[in-house]
Amino acid sequence: MVIPVALYCATGNPGKLAEFRHAAPPGLELLAAGPLDCPETGGSFEENAVQKALYYADHLQAAVFADDSGLEVDALGGAPSIRSARYAGPGATDEENRRRLVKNLRGVDRPRARFVCVLALAEPGRLVATFRGATEGEILDAPRGAGGFGYDPLFYYPALGHTFAELTPEQKHAHSHRGKAFRALLAWLDAHPGLDRATTVPFASAARP
């Protein structure tokens, strides 16, 4: 980053926020935007990410980036997609979602899948940019690994021979959908320091909700 700043991250998922903070470069502090009743009515990762980013930016009067991400499985016609967090129903746990996925893929040999992440960056009143990352893999019929969250224990990444739940945080950031999108966002910020000066929150005055 050109100027040390604190930037708001709009996500209600503590696992996602932890990954972003772990990957943030020196000089950039990520603040939790805090829970808001922001509806997600979009039909794609892009639409939902943009909706959240604009909503939080207007509420906080600061620059915000929002994440929308999930798993797409070819054998399921791309599901669970934008419904990844509630695949087994509203309020479903990660384990419940994983069990349903395994059940629905029973009998499918090495189903191909991908993790997709879209980050939307907004400042009050306008969308600034969006960034997309995707990682191809396969779905296992039983979880492996104790790290990560969500579908990570089922997502096998052939290039490293492990599930995402078996990777170190550094390995996961280097190869994951979220890491790819976040690096694209950081590169954009580094090339556009005017956004930092205009709409992000200086460290000294950053209010933590």
| Residues acting as catalytic residues | 68
The CA distances from residue 97 to 68, 71, 149, in Å, are 17, 11, 11
Residue 185 burial by CB count (10 A; 0-12/13-18/19+): exposed, middle or buried? buried
Helices (H), 90-166: 94-104
Q: Give strand pairing partners of 157.
A: 162
51 burial (CB, 10 Å; 0-12 / 13-18 / 19+) is buried
